Amino acid sequence: MSASEQTNWQSVHDEVLRRIHTREWKPGDQIPKEVELAEQLGCARATVNRALRELAAEGFLDRRRKAGTRVATHPVRRAKLDIPVIRLEIEGRGQKYGYGLLLTERRTPTPEICANLGVSAKSDMLHISSLHLADGKPYMFEERWVSIDTVPEIVDADLSKISANEWLVLHAPYTKGDISFSAVLASELEAKILRTHAGAPLFLMERTTWENDAGITSARLLFAPGYRMHSAI
Amino acid sequence: MSASEQTNWQSVHDEVLRRIHTREWKPGDQIPKEVELAEQLGCARATVNRALRELAAEGFLDRRRKAGTRVATHPVRRAKLDIPVIRLEIEGRGQKYGYGLLLTERRTPTPEICANLGVSAKSDMLHISSLHLADGKPYMFEERWVSIDTVPEIVDADLSKISANEWLVLHAPYTKGDISFSAVLASELEAKILRTHAGAPLFLMERTTWENDAGITSARLLFAPGYRMHSAI
DNA sequence: TAGTGGTCTAGACCACGGT
DNA sequence: CCGTGGTCTAGACCACTAA
């Protein structure tokens, strides 16, 4: 405690976390106010503030003006999922990335897609199906709709060379996005594409993005059997 | 720019994000250094630093000493998943939470659990099966192993009243955790418990936690068909 | 209304890492 | 080496909110 030489915000962070872990401060307990902690630990209040702010963001503390800082009673753990471009995810594991464009068509969207993106049924959209491979094996089947109204440049992109996902990342930044995960059964067609059998359990990721309420894209990403998404908490 | 009245770190954050979104600053571009931005926006360098630090944490910027700050070329999106206690997740949606303990037994773990937790095959563990309900319907089936060596107090807990998950949150804080998500098929037993049919696609969440390399618990959480986990990005 | 966290400032020094 | 971000400090004022 007082004997520590280094008094940077990280050491304060770690010290507070230690006291929580050792149950010196229990869930629900009020901890000393910033000024007191700063005195105890021999640093400026701003330093303590930085440490406690991060701990609150990590879910370990609840802070409220006037009420003080308390150890979270139900430490909501926040898993941070990095959602990289698929190519980088595969290459990052040392596998060879492959990509195949299966279909592109320009047409009006299905009612479901309209609802997702919040666009009219007459929207001009690009429908893209593609397959991503890892070491030559099917890895993920992507079905995507892109709003041509919002991103007109997409019609000039060569989507046989660069995946729609990657093109969009570079050319159409979004301001808002939704992502969801679930489990589904492979249909006949999906099974064929992913080289598995109908009825196999597939991990499904659905993403929709907007630029200031203008729908950009809605995608359905179906991963081959055996896929696991993981993270540290 | 100069006309803005409010110059807090959030306005700097938003202004920089705006310049990225409007492609005034494109992926890979170097942006002005902190001192320059502080001058431009009429605030202290610390304020700019705070804003840019958050943007870097959000994945929009890459920052390196001496090399300066650049717009991220592949904006890795970070989805923040809140992993609350199941009871709160259900109650938070306004549904009635129910819980039933199916089985507890004290025994040595399976080889798979040993591998997950990194413990010996002779460990003293508690094996717990339970079912969580939302509005009376099966919601999640939990199968959990808890190390009695690491958390001896668990044997005195009344797990018919409080779920092991919730008990652990209150009494056994962890320092490290893994979480993974995948899709599996329901077995006969699992189908019966979740009141569905064998072969249904189920969303599986697996969690393992440690306290300084001492394994605490490993859990397999099987969600009823139709479960979707989602998040904003 | 008063106490607590939230933030800003100006200045300083440090640490990393291009050149 | 030396420029850039990373951090600390002391002090100040503000904003929220419990009492």
Shortest Cα–Cα distance, B1 to chain A (Å): 21
A41 in the same domain as A98: no
Q: Are residues A127 and A206 located together in one domain of the fold? A: yes
Residue carrying the six token digits 């037994």: B105
Q: What's chain A's average pLDDT?
A: 92
Are A136 and A62 found together in one domain? no
Average pLDDT, chain B: 92
Q: Are residues B29 and B104 in the same domain?
A: no
pLDDT of residue B81: 87
Q: Which of B22, B48, B71 is the last residue of a domain?
A: B71
- The CATH number covering residue A174 comes to 3.40.1410.10
Note the strand D nucleotides within 7 A of protein beta carbons: 2-12, 15-19
Last residue of a domain, one of B71, B102, B120: B71
Task: Check whether residue B209 and residue B95 sit in a common domain.
Answer: yes
Enter the tokens of residue B181: 């998500």
The DSSP-derived string for A176-198 is EEEEEEEEEE--HHHHHHTTS-T
pLDDT of residue A6: 63
CB proximity list for B163: less than 8 A, separation 6 or greater: B85, B86, B87, B99, B130, B132, B142
- The minimum CA-CA distance between B167 and chain A, rounded to whole Å, is 11
Residue A59 lies in a domain: yes
Vertex B175, ends B93 and A231: CA angle to 5°?
60
Residue B171 confidence (pLDDT): 87
The one-letter code for the residue type at B222 is: L
Is pLDDT at A5 greater than 70 in this prediction?
no
Per-residue pLDDT at A217 exceeds 70: yes
Residues A57 and A163 in one domain: no
Domain presence at residue B189:
yes
Between vectors from CA A193 to CA A189 and to CA A197, what angle results, nearest 5°? Answer: 70
A55 located within any domain: yes
Query: Of A86, A122, A128, A79, which is closest to residue A103 (Cα–Cα)?
Result: A128
> Is B16 a member of any domain?
yes
Chain A environment of B177 (Cβ under 8 Å): 77, 232-233
Of B167, B180, B177, B165, nearest to B212 by C-alpha is B177
Summarised one tens digit per residue, pLDDT across range A24-36 is 999 999 999 999 9
In a domain, B164, yes or no: yes
Residues B49 and B105 grouped into a single domain: no
Beta bridge mates, B138: B133
- Considering only the beta carbons, identify the residue of B179, B184, B209 that sits closest to A79: B179
Measured distance CA(A58)–CA(A68) in Å, rounded: 17
- Judge whether residue A196 has pLDDT over 60: yes
For chain C, which bases have at least one atom within 7 A of a protein Cβ? Answer: 2-12, 15-18
3-class DSSP assignment, residue A163 = coil
Per-residue pLDDT at B1: 38
* Exposed e or buried b per residue across A15-52, where buried means at least 16 C-beta atoms within 10 angstroms of its C-beta: bbbebbbeeebebeeebbebeebbeebebeeebbbbbb
Percent of chain A with pLDDT over 70: 97
In the complex, which nucleotide's C1' lies nearest to the CA atom of residue B52?
D5
Cβ distance A199 to B199 less than 8 Å, yes or no, reads yes
Nearest-CB residue to A228 (from B169, B175, B181): B181
Angle at A57 between CA A170 and CA B172, to 5 degrees: 125
**Three-class SS state of B90:** helix
What distances in angstroms separate CA B59 from CA A58, A192, A230, one per listed residue?
Answer: 17, 36, 19
For residues A214 and A118, state if they share a domain.
yes
Shared domain for A27 and A114, answered yes or no, is no
**Residue B33: which CATH number?**
1.10.10.10
Q: In angstroms, how far is C1 C1' from A106 CA?
A: 65
> Contacts of residue B78 in chain A, CB cutoff 8 Å?
80-83
Subunit contact A183:B227, Cβ cutoff 8 A: yes
Higher local confidence (pLDDT), B36 or A6: B36
pLDDT of residue A82: 83
**Contact call for residues B158 and B99 (beta carbons, < 8 A):** no
| Residue B99 belongs to some domain of the structure | yes
List chain B pLDDT tens, one digit each, 233 residues: 333 456 799 999 999 999 998 889 998 999 999 999 999 999 999 999 999 999 999 999 999 999 999 999 877 778 888 888 899 899 989 999 999 999 999 999 999 899 989 888 888 999 999 999 999 999 999 999 999 999 999 999 999 999 999 999 888 888 889 999 999 999 999 999 999 999 999 999 999 999 988 999 999 999 999 999 999 88
Percent of chain A with pLDDT over 90: 76
Cα angle A29, A11, A47 (rounded to 5 degrees) comes to 80
Chain B residues inside the 8 Å CB shell of A232: 176-179
Band (A3; pLDDT cuts 50, 70, 90): very low
- Cβ-based contacts under 8 A for chains A and B: 139
For residues A129 and A191, state if they share a domain.
yes
Asked if residue B163 is part of any domain, the answer here is yes
Which pLDDT score is estimated for B232? Answer: 85
| Owning domain of residue B62 | 9-71
CA atoms within 13 A on the CB side of B96: 4
Residue B77 maps to a domain: no
Number of domains comprising chain A: 2
Cβ neighbours of A82 (radius 10 Å) = 13
pLDDT value at A67 more than 80: yes
pLDDT by residue (tens digit) across A105-122?
999 999 989 898 988 888
Question: What local confidence, expressed as pLDDT, does residue A172 receive?
Answer: 85
Q: Are residues A61 and A93 in the same domain?
A: no
Instruction: Say if residue A128 is in the same domain as residue A180.
Output: yes
